[in-house]
Amino acid sequence: MKISIFREFNPALARLWSAIDPHSDHHVFQCYEWLAKWQETVGVHVESIKPWIAVLSDENGLPKAIFPFGVAWKLGARVLMFLGAGKNDYQGPLIHHDWIRDSSRLKEGWQLLCNQLPGHDVRHFQNLPGAWGAADTPVLGLVDASFHAKS
């Protein structure tokens, strides 16, 4: 498994995103075009968020998950969040159907990813969908989280 980190939206990231897009269940808010435009307008200018986007690829170099994170200073703390935080109806990663069905691969990828996360004081993940296609949200099983509302 390989992790590639992107600190900006660019053509190389767009190619990886387009390779996983048709093989994952997600909302419009996880589309490359939506998040790139959000970051260009709101993310950088209003929220001062620095993108930190992780692409997890398999042994053949095929993307299996994209975690579109960002880091921002909020109330004196560095907060790791999904891009679009607080503005998008839904947030979260793109996860290939193969990994939705193989939670061990997703957990392995998450552990590798956690070892490379940028410096932060708080992880604030919000508006994660309750289900990814036919599966329960796999991300909730990866993090130690408190659940406070359901829509």
**Cα-flanking dihedrals φ and ψ of residue 47, to 5°?**
-95, -15
103-116 pLDDT tens trace: 788 888 889 998 99
SS3 143: coil
Percent of the chain with pLDDT over 90: 45
Cα–Cα dist 47/33, whole Å: 19
Contact assessment for residue 36 and residue 68, using Cβ atoms and an 8 Å cutoff: no
Strand partners, 53: 6, 68
pLDDT tens digits for the chain (151 residues)?
Answer: 999 999 999 999 999 999 999 998 877 788 899 999 989 998 888 888 999 999 999 999 999 999 999 999 989 999 999 998 666 666 788 889 888 877 788 888 889 998 999 899 988 777 666 655 555 555 555 656 555 555 4
Q: What is the pTM of this model?
A: 0.84
| pLDDT tens digits along 72-90 | 998 999 999 999 866 666 6
Distance CA 31, CA 70 (A): 15
